[in-house]
Amino acid sequence: MKQKFLLEISVESLEAAMAAERGGADRIELCSDLSVGGVAPSAELLRGVRSRLRIPIFSMIRPRAGDFVYSGDELSAMRRSIAAAKESGMDGVVLGILTKDRRVDVARTRELVEFARPLPVTYHRAFDESAHLHQALEDVIKTGAQRILTSGGSQSAPEGAGRIGGLVAAAGDRIFIVPGAGINASNVLHVAQQTGASEFHSGLSTSLPYRSHEYKRFEEEVRKLAEAIERFD
């Protein structure tokens, strides 16, 4: 039986989300301000996108741009964002917290994972800033998160594909490893072959600039990426 692959597309607007769905995305990661890696979207954007899309939507839970070491007030803001995601009918949330010494903050992340239930949690690319990726893998598993979004500690997933493959092997069936960053139709097969992953994440920033209003072109790029994944055997 042919393996089913899943394509997640990150967007920051209703128009882009609708274009991604038309293009064949299986899931949306909804953010604001993707040019800084994405921060939590407004409740208005959450509700607007949920009302128009049929596919699952994961909401970014990030209180600000910059590092991933957060104050008590920022953690409270993250809880409010999670509550808004639940109220708006999101299907999952995306977050990540590090300690000052670049380790996964297991205790605080676990608290947010518990607070988010029953929504699944993806630990985002804060993972790639951790000091030791394989230790970080074990730490994220301890938090109860269901996925890790990673470029293997490199600038892009194609560059880090070998390390991502090692993480996929080490993770086994304990957690999903989702390659992301720099993935497009021209390189996704390489990433799939090198990593053994079954889910892939892209914002298509290597094909289109952030804040692009060329939604027809965005839809076409998503479709090319979706078709490339579908051809992978």
Segments forming the whole domain that contains residue 201: 6-231
Check whether 7 has a pLDDT greater than 50.
yes
β-bridge pairing 199-202 and 6-11: parallel
* Residue 170, C-beta contacts closer than 8 angstroms, at least 6 positions apart: 134, 137
Within a domain: 1: no
Task: Give the number of other CB atoms < 10 A from CB of residue 53.
Answer: 18
Q: Across residues 196-224, what is the average pLDDT?
A: 84
Asked whether 39 and 32 are in contact (CB, 8 A), the reply is yes
Q: Hey, which residues does 29 pair with through a beta bridge?
A: 10, 58
Within a domain: 59: yes
Average pLDDT across the chain, whole number: 94
Q: Count the domains in the chain.
A: 1
Q: Across residues 74-101, what is the average pLDDT?
A: 98
User: Distances in Å between the alpha carbon of 172 and those of 88, 175, 177, 202, 232?
Assistant: 33, 7, 9, 23, 21
Asked whether 202 and 10 are in contact (CB, 8 A), the reply is yes
> To the nearest whole percent, how much of the chain has pLDDT over 90?
89
Amino acid at 142: K
Q: Across residues 53-78, what is the average pLDDT?
A: 97
Within a domain: 216: yes
Confidence of residue 1 (pLDDT cuts 50, 70, 90): very low
Within a domain: 143: yes
Q: Hey, which residues does 148 pair with through a beta bridge?
A: 123, 177
The predicted pLDDT at position 223 comes to 97
Query: Where residue 64 sits, what CATH number does that domain have?
Result: 3.20.20.380
